[in-house]
Amino acid sequence: MTDARNSRGTTKERFADLAESYLGVEGVTCPGTEPGARGFGRGGLKVGGKLFAMVSQDRLVVKLPAERVDQLVAGGDGDHFDPRKNGVAMREWFIVDPSSDLDWHALAEEARAYVGALR
């Protein structure tokens, strides 16, 4: 079932909607609110200063437990994130397939909870 928050749009539009839903959430830093941010994940969502969701390769990328990433990959909803495209995937990072019907808000919330618990 798809709700209005999960409606199709460009990746940039969908991520902007996702980021907007985190504005004002305690402990969460939204893209563009961190002066001088550079490097990996600079345009991403962070909790406690740690990245939990971002856009890369024009796709949503979230940090989840390795077992959960394996489960999502096995379900055909995306793949392990390989930022350098050199065959070295990051075990705890999942890149969502553009054709997936996964709810980005639910995935981001799952990622926020996971990363927030790692502190």
What angle, rounded to 10 degrees, do the helices at 11-21 and 104-117 form? Answer: 50
Full-model pTM:
0.85
H-helix or E-strand spanning residue 70: helix 66-74
Q: What is the percentage of the chain residues whose pLDDT exceeds 70?
A: 83
Q: Which conformational region is residue 17 in: left (phi greater than 0), alpha (psi within -120 to 50 degrees), or beta?
A: alpha
Q: CA 7 to CA 4: how far, in whole Å?
A: 5
Q: Determine the residue type at 12.
A: K
pLDDT band at 7 (very low <50, low <70, confident <90, very high): low
Ordered strands of the 45-47 beta sheet: 28-29, 45-47, 50-56, 59-63, 90-96, 78-81
CATH code at position 56: 3.90.1150
Domain containing 18 equals: 4-117
Model pLDDT, residue 42: 65
Domain count, the chain: 1
pLDDT recorded at residue 83: 87
Q: Give pLDDT tens digits for 67-119.
A: 999 999 999 999 999 988 898 899 999 999 988 999 999 999 999 999 999 96
